[in-house]
Amino acid sequence: MPKGNKINNEAIDLVKRLGIMPANILTPSRLVVESKDLHKDIKVTDLDEEALEKLGANLLLSVGQGSIEESHMIVMKYFGEGVKVSDKPIVLIGKGVTFDTGGVSIKPSNKMHQMKMDMLGAGTVMAVIQAVAKLKLPINVVAVVPTVENVVSAKATKPGDVFTSMNGLTVEVLNTDAEGRLILADALTYVEKFNPEVVIDIATLTGAALYALGSYATPVLGNDQELIDDLIKAGKKSKDKGWQLPLWEEHCKVMQGQEGVADLRNIASKPGPGTTTAAAFLWEFADDYKWAHLDIAATGSNGDKPTGRSVKMLIEYIKQRTG
């Protein structure tokens, strides 16, 4: 088996291993431990709750405030051999909700056990940066994982609560089950510090993704057409399909907050394309660089089993950038 195929398979196996771990074992703190074991050439920084408070990552912290498990933001850096440390990196962000009850806006119970897999975006970016290090690719990559547990308690966020994001925008949380976009928003603001070449976030974000494309292809949205095209081409070559969904200014309007309450709301003001409006919310925090969003809610798992989808697409994309 060619080396590249072997490493691709190992990367997918890592996502599957993390994805099936029960949430009482794979906590946010355990994800920190797992990140430090990925590869000797990957430098890991753990931002704990104290550090996140200093950064003003209040959206991220709001999601985890009901849990006894501490929230974290994990930063993993790989600097390619022969590449200047100052060269702009590819930045990957992976949603790391290690269990999602939906919070006060609680989910139905029949399939809630599957919400241990709401960290598949995190597993994906960890697997991809590990593969890049194993392949010794001449490129700089940063992978960021905002990781929390979203549960119900007396301290949990209540629908209607308002929080100030890291970039200063205020957000009214009208549905605590629309939590992934909140932790990603602060991560998208944080990664500006890296002066990224491109930023790609990967998340099990919306059930609407299943109705948009089924489990056949991963929805791809963003603010840069070349980046979107390159990801879809990489998916086609690696047989890990992506398909572009529209993202327009009109979608952003339904995410605007009520005057006098907040700048934004975390769910749309009227029914519509949920995958796109969730991406529109993220766009508010990703306007200063080239950005794409992969929603793996429908492709990342098959029932109780994680699939590792989007791993091969992203590895292929990064390999092509080393061209």
Catalytic residue numbers read 107, 181
In which residue are the tokens 């929390």 written?
A: 148
Q: Are 218 and 234 in contact (CB under 8 A)?
A: no
Residue whose C-alpha is closest to residue 181's, from 265, 66, 75, 65: 265
What Å distances lie between residue 153 and 32, 146, 182, CA to CA?
Answer: 24, 21, 19
CA angle centred on 318, ends 315 and 321, rounded to 5°: 150
* 120-135 vs 311-322: helix crossing angle, rounded to 10: 40
| Cβ atoms within 10 Å of 89's Cβ, excluding its own | 24
Q: Are 284 and 185 in contact (CB under 8 A)?
A: yes
Q: Are 274 and 181 in contact (CB under 8 A)?
A: no
Q: Are 19 and 119 in contact (CB under 8 A)?
A: yes
